[in-house]
C-alpha cells in the first residue's frame, strides 16, 4: 500500500515531459530536475520540474530548462520556430486546465538578450491538477496563419504526463 501511495505522489515525474518526433523538427528534454519555479518545500520531496523543446529552422543551443532560451533565440531566423514547455509542482492558485491550442496563446514580452517578432505563452494546470504547465512559442518572423498552424502541429506533439 505504501508503494502505491509513493507512486501516486510522484506520478507526473514517472514520465518526464517530452515532444514526440515531428518531421523537420529537432527535440530535446531535461528529464526531471529541481524546480526553478517553485520555492523550497516542506514536503517529503523537493519541488520538481521537467522541460522539453521542439524547434525548426535553428539549432537549439541552450539547456532544456533555459527560460527563455536566449542563446538559441539570438540565432532564430525568419520563419524559424521554437516551442518550449515546462511542468512543475503546482504552486499557483487560480489556474485553469491548460488547452494546448494556439488560439488560447497570449502575447508576452520576453527575451532581454534578443528581440524576436513573436513570443506567445500558454499556461495552466495539467491532468489531475497535480502540476502546472507553461508553454512558450517563439516565432522568428511575424506569425502568419501558416506559422501559427505550424506551431499548433508542434503543440500537438507535446505529451503531458497523465495523472492516474
Confidence of residue 162 (pLDDT cuts 50, 70, 90): confident
CA distance linking residue 46 with residue 117, whole number of Å: 37
Domain annotation covers residue 137: yes
Domain annotation covers residue 164: no
Alpha helices (H) in the chain, listed in sequence order: 2-9, 11-14, 70-73, 145-155
| Total Cβ atoms within 10 A of residue 71 | 14
pLDDT tens per residue across span 26-82: 999 998 888 776 655 555 566 688 999 999 999 999 999 999 999 999 999 999 999
Burial class (CB in 10 A: 0-12, 13-18, 19+), 24: exposed
pLDDT tens per residue across span 76-110: 999 999 999 999 886 556 678 899 999 999 998 77
CA distance linking residue 48 with residue 34, whole number of Å: 5
For residue 38, what pLDDT is reported? Answer: 64
Q: Which residues in 91-114 are b (16+ Cβ under 10 Å) and which e?
A: eeeeeeebebebeebeeeebbeee
What are the angstrom distances between the C-alpha of 116 and each of 103, 104, 110, 142?
A: 20, 20, 9, 9
Q: Which residue is listed with cell 491548460?
A: 98
For residue 43, what pLDDT is reported? Answer: 55
Count of domains forming the chain: 1
Domain annotation covers residue 9: yes
Q: How far apart are the first and last CA of the chain?
A: 16
pTM strictly above 0.75: yes
What is the residue range of 90's domain? 2-159
CA distance linking residue 73 with residue 114, whole number of Å: 7
Domain annotation covers residue 134: yes
Amino acid at each position: 500500500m505504501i508503494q502505491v501511495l509513493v507512486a501516486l505522489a510522484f506520478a507526473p515525474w514517472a514520465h518526464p515531459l517530452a515532444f514526440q518526433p515531428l518531421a523537420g523538427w529537432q527535440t530535446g528534454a531535461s528529464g526531471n530536475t529541481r524546480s526553478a519555479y517553485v520555492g523550497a518545500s516542506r514536503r517529503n520531496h523537493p519541488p520538481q520540474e521537467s522541460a522539453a523543446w521542439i524547434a525548426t529552422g535553428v539549432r537549439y543551443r541552450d539547456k532544456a530548462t533555459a527560460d527563455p532560451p536566449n542563446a538559441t533565440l539570438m540565432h532564430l531566423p525568419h520563419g524559424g520556430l521554437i516551442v518550449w514547455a515546462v511542468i512543475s509542482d503546482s504552486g499557483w492558485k487560480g489556474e485553469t486546465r491548460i488547452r494546448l491550442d494556439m488560439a488560447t496563446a497570449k502575447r508576452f514580452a520576453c527575451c532581454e538578450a534578443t528581440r524576436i517578432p513573436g513570443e506567445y505563452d500558454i499556461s495552466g494546470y495539467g491532468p489531475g491538477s497535480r502540476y502546472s504547465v507553461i508553454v512558450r512559442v517563439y516565432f522568428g518572423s511575424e506569425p502568419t496563419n501558416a506559422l501559427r498552424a505550424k506551431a499548433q502541429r508542434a503543440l500537438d506533439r507535446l505529451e503531458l504526463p497523465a495523472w492516474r
